[in-house]
Amino acid sequence: MKILVTGGAGFIGSHTVIALIENGYQPIIIDDYRNSEPFIIDNLCEITGGNITHYAFDFGNSKELSKVFEKENPSGIIHFAADKAVNESVSNPLKYYHNNLSNLVTLLNVVAKFPVEAFVFSSSCTVYGVPDQIPVKENAPVKKAFSPYGYTKQVGEKILADFFKNQEKTSLSTLRYFNPIGAHPSALIGELPVGVPNGLAPFITQTAIGKRKELTIYGDDYQTIDGTCIRDYIHVADLANAHVLSLNHNLQKKESVLLNVGTGEGYSVMQVLNAFQKVNNISVAYKIGGRRDGDVPAIYADNSLIKQKINWQPKYSLDDALEHAWRWEKKLAER
C-alpha cells in the first residue's frame, strides 16, 4: 500500500518513512529539501535496505502534485511539509501563511480529484497556547496563538476538519505533538536545522561539537521548577511510530481521531541540558538570555487517549534521545 509522505526527507518525516517500511507500507516521498538535504534519501535506503521512491519539488506545485497522484495512486497521506520555527514565524509571518496554509489548500484541491482513504496531519501542541491546566488533554480549549506558526496549525486543523466532513471515504488523524528530539539509533538520519537551531536539542549538540560558542537559555524567570521553560520531549522514533499506528487506525477502523503525542512528562530546559551533559559525559557552555517571543512557560501532554485509541506507548527515554542526538551530531561532523 502506497503512502504519500510530504516532507518525507525532513526530521520527523524521514523517521516515519522507516516506520512505514517496517510496517509493510511503501512510502512515496515529496520534498524540496528546504529543511533537509538529498543525502538523507541515500541514508534512508541504507537503513531500510531498498530503494525509496522520491520526488523533489515544492508540494505547493499543483501540477507536479497531480502527476504524482496520477502515477502512484496513494492510499493515504502523511503531511509533514511545513515551516516550523516559532520565532521565525513572528519575524516572517507571510512565509508561514503561504507554506503552511496556502500550500495545504493546494494539496487538498488535488486530494479532491484523487481521493485517499487516510490523511494524517502533523499538528502541534502550540494550538493550546498557554493552557489552563497541565498535563493538557485533547479537549482543552484552543487558545489565542502565541505565534503565526501556532496560528497556522490551528487554522490547518480547521481547514482539514471542514474539508474531510465532505470526504466520507477518508479518515483524518490530527496529531498534536510536543517536542521531538533525538535521532535514529544508527546515526544515519536526524535533525538538520537550517541556520541557527530553534529547537533546544540541536542547539545543545551544536554547542557541544563546537559549531556554536555557547547555548542561550531564553529566560530563567518563569514560574517553573528552576525558572526555565518546561516541555514534553519525545523521541522522534516514537513520534514516527505514532503516525503509522494512527494511519493503521484510519485504514482499518475508518475512524477520524485527534490525539496528543507526548511522553506525559515535562522537563525544564536546564534539566535537559544537565541530562545531556551527564549521559554523554561532556560539558556545554551556556548563558542566560531574555525571554523569546512566542514561548509558552510550561506545557506537557496528557497521553492517555492515544494509548487507549491506537495502543501507542513511548519506547525511548529522555536520556536515549539525548544520546542518539549526540551520536547524530558527531556523525554529521564526519561528513
d(C-alpha 173, C-alpha 119), whole Å: 6
Which cell numbers in the block locate residue 297?
512557560
Q: Got the DSSP string for 157-221? A: HHHHHHHHTT-TT-EEEEEEE-EEE---TTSSS----SSS--SHHHHHHHHHHTSSS-EEEE-S-
Interhelix angle 11-22/39-48, rounded to 10 degrees, is 20
Ramachandran sector of residue 2 (left: φ over 0; alpha: ψ -120 to 50; beta: rest): beta
Of the residues 55, 96, 149, 177, only one is catalytic, namely: 149
Q: For residue 135, say if its preceding peptide bond is cis, omega within 30 degrees of 0.
A: yes
Catalytic residue at 149?
A: yes
Query: Number of C-alpha atoms within 13 angstroms, CB side, residue 233?
Result: 25
Please list, in sequence order, all residues whose beta carbon lies within 8 angstroms of the beta carbon of residue 107, skipping any fewer than 6 positions away: 6, 59, 60, 65, 77, 79
**Cα separation of 204 and 206, whole Å?**
6
CA–CA separation, 14 and 21 (whole Å) = 11
Q: How far apart are CA 309 and CA 58, in angstroms?
A: 33
What is the C-alpha separation between 120 and 115, in angstroms, rounded?
Answer: 14
Strand pairing class (2-6; 26-30) = parallel
Active site members: 149
